[in-house]
Amino acid sequence: MYPHFVSEKSFRLTVETFCKSLSMKEKVERIESFSYLPIEGNVNLKDPDVTFYLLEYFGQDSNNIPEQPYELFFGRWVADGQRSLIQKLSLKTRHFLGNTSMDAQLSLLMANQAKIVPGSLVYDPFVGSGSLLVSAAQFGGYVSGADIDFLMIHGKSRPVRPNQKVREKGESIKSNMQQYNLSSKYVGVLVADFARPLWRPDVRFDAILTDPPYGVREATFKVGSWRGPDIKPIAEKHLPHHIPAKVDYDLQELMRDLLDFAANHLCMGGRLVFWLPICREEYDEEKSLPKHKCLRLIYNCEQVLSCHSSRLLLCMEKVKEPVTKEKTPPAELTSTTRFRHRYFGGKEQKE
């Protein structure tokens, strides 16, 4: 710190607090308390050579703010973060939205955990309205995605904004990219069933970001029929306009398929970042998290949804290539099984 106290460098001292507001008088008192420092430079409040910061942390409970801060930090300002992107990519001004459009801040955190850099090839197998693609493209990634929902992919789904009865002309994932001047990063999206192989075996992605449906705000479906093998083939003349029947896509099976897909289609060192719903009282890290021999868990972050439900943001990194193409047996995810029923039933519908 001492090399920045020299007379040749002008300076400014700024006071910032977390979870508490200070009056100007209180800030000045704190600034003057540093008069003992051997700073020889002149004060320059507008364009200093060096800015020193005093940060006071008062916890996270705004209803129970302590008199004294829990922690104090003093240091030299190096650079600002990118929190301005939260406002820039806010859903409030997003052109195309869906029921499950991911909050801008969470989308950016996912892209950050995935270590997306300019030139990264990014894929979202449950793309929905494409919120995760926007954040990945903002960091320079080339983005693509797929979803089983034909109407969502084509921008024809029911609008979600209050008092909006029909979609505006041109609403789509592509229009979101155009809104943020990210069209050059947009590879494309397509209608596809994640339960059925889509890509060639040699296709590789640098990162996979996704928020799989788990039956709360969007249903979990895959192509199939309850009739099983007895289903009759579709006449060729009806094929161009035929929409396949769908069946429930079990969440544990979905997670198994997701990890297998990541193991086969991620570059070595590439990352899979996704959300997993859990029932808080039944959560056991050893039994509740999906595992794969080719993927190593890097981060496990909890977002509390209610007194009985949470979702985990999991980040996994590919550490080795799969030896065989056989599917991993579905793990028994104790706190995830029948999550939808427990979510709507709360504590009283536990099994």
Cβ neighbours of residue 73 closer than 8 Å, sequence gap 6 or more = 53, 54, 55, 57
Q: What is the pLDDT of residues 200-226, one digit of tens each?
A: 999 999 999 999 988 666 667 788 776
Alpha-carbon distance of 339 to 284, in angstroms, equals: 15
Supply the pTM of this predicted model: 0.81
Alpha-carbon distance of 297 to 328, in angstroms, equals: 17
**Domains 2-76 and 84-349 agree in fold:** no
339: confidence class by pLDDT, cuts 50, 70, 90: low
* Identity of the residue numbered 132: L
Alpha-carbon distance of 24 to 125, in angstroms, equals: 51
Kindly state the percentage of the chain with pLDDT values over 70: 89
Q: Cα–Cα–Cα angle for 301, 337, 304, nearest 5°?
A: 30
Q: What is the pLDDT of residues 35-53, one digit of tens each?
A: 999 999 999 999 999 999 9
Bridge partners for 190 per DSSP: 146
Q: What is the pLDDT of residues 103-160, one digit of tens each?
A: 999 999 999 999 999 999 999 999 999 999 999 999 999 999 999 999 999 998 888 8
Alpha-carbon distance of 74 to 79, in angstroms, equals: 15
Q: What is the pLDDT of residues 160-184, one digit of tens each?
A: 888 888 888 889 999 999 999 999 9
**pLDDT for the residue 132:** 98
**pLDDT for the residue 234:** 80
Q: What is the pLDDT of residues 269-321, one digit of tens each?
A: 999 999 999 888 888 877 788 999 999 999 999 999 888 888 999 999 999 99
For residue 351, pLDDT over 50 is answered with no
* CB contact at 8 A, 266 and 212: no
Q: 2-76 maps to which CATH number?
A: 3.30.2300
Q: How far is CA 88 from CA 92, 93, 101, 211, 313, in A?
A: 10, 9, 15, 21, 23
Supply the mean pLDDT for the chain.
89
Kindly state the percentage of the chain with pLDDT values over 90: 66
333: confidence class by pLDDT, cuts 50, 70, 90: low
**pLDDT for the residue 350:** 46
* CB contact at 8 A, 51 and 11: yes
In 76-220, alpha helices (H): 84-88, 104-113, 131-138, 150-153, 173-179
For residue 18, pLDDT over 50 is answered with yes
* CB contact at 8 A, 100 and 75: no
**pLDDT for the residue 86:** 96
How close are the terminal C-alpha atoms of the chain, in Å?
59
Within the chain, what is the greatest distance between any pair of CA atoms?
Answer: 87
* CB contact at 8 A, 211 and 275: yes
For residue 335, pLDDT over 70 is answered with no
Alpha-carbon distance of 50 to 10, in angstroms, equals: 6
**pLDDT for the residue 329:** 62
* CB contact at 8 A, 191 and 152: no
Each domain of the chain, given as residue ranges in start order, spans 2-76, 84-349
3-state SS class at 11: strand
Q: What is the pLDDT of residues 221-244, one digit of tens each?
A: 788 776 666 677 788 888 787 777
Q: Name the strand (E) or helix (H) holding 27.
A: helix 24-32
* Identity of the residue numbered 228: G
* CB contact at 8 A, 15 and 56: yes
For residue 27, pLDDT over 80 is answered with yes
Assigned architecture for domain 84-349: 3-Layer(aba) Sandwich (3.40)
